[in-house]
Amino acid sequence: MIRHEADRAARMADLWERQIDNPLMCGPLNLVQIRLGCGLGLEVRNMQFRWRPNHPKLSAWFDRIATRPSFAGTTPPR
């Protein structure tokens, strides 16, 4: 079950790498961006969730959204 979910997360990271330039992801903050940002932020809690190395566009997008006060103020401690 864990391997299945890890594989699914990897497929989703691949999908979002291709789709991150979509206007929905570049415009005003919306629920899709919040959900994706929260999901990618789980890397803090699960060090085996290594999505960044093969997803440079997604990583850059996350780095930008993570600086928003609403994200920065709710980041779990390392």
pLDDT band at 74 (very low <50, low <70, confident <90, very high): confident
Residue 43: predicted pLDDT: 83
- pLDDT score of 64: 95
Domain ranges of the chain: 2-72
Q: How far apart are the C-alpha atoms of 20 and 8, rounded to whole Å?
A: 18
Alpha carbons 57 and 16: distance in angstroms, whole number: 9
3-state secondary structure the chain: CHHHHHHHHHHHHHHHHHHCCCHHHHCCCCHHHHHHHHHHHHHHCCCCCCCCCCCHHHHHHHHHHCCCHHHHCCCCCC
* Chain segment 42-57, per-residue pLDDT in tens: 888 777 888 999 999 9
- pLDDT on residue 11: 94
Q: Is residue 72's pLDDT more than 90?
A: no
pLDDT for 77 equals 72
